[in-house]
Amino acid sequence: MTPEEEDIYRRKQKSRALAMAIGLGVLVVLFYLITIAKIGVAG
């Protein structure tokens, strides 16, 4: 890999990691809301 290719590779890797982190954060919030809704429905 040339330095330019490695730079592109790293940038893509970073954007994927960021997208994954955002996705996981959204899931944490979603699971919290689902739990509250389920408890509310059961109650």
Which residues of this protein are in contact with another protein, per CB under 8 A?
Answer: 1, 5-6, 8-10, 12-13, 15-16, 18-19, 30, 33-34, 36-38, 40-41
Least separation in angstroms between residue 40's CB and another protein is 7
Least separation in angstroms between residue 18's CB and another protein is 8
Question: CA 35, CA 42: separation in Å to the nearest integer?
Answer: 11
- Which residues touch 1 (CB under 8 Å, ≥6 apart)? 9
Least separation in angstroms between residue 24's CB and another protein is 12
Backbone torsions φ then ψ of 32, nearest 5 degrees = -60, -50
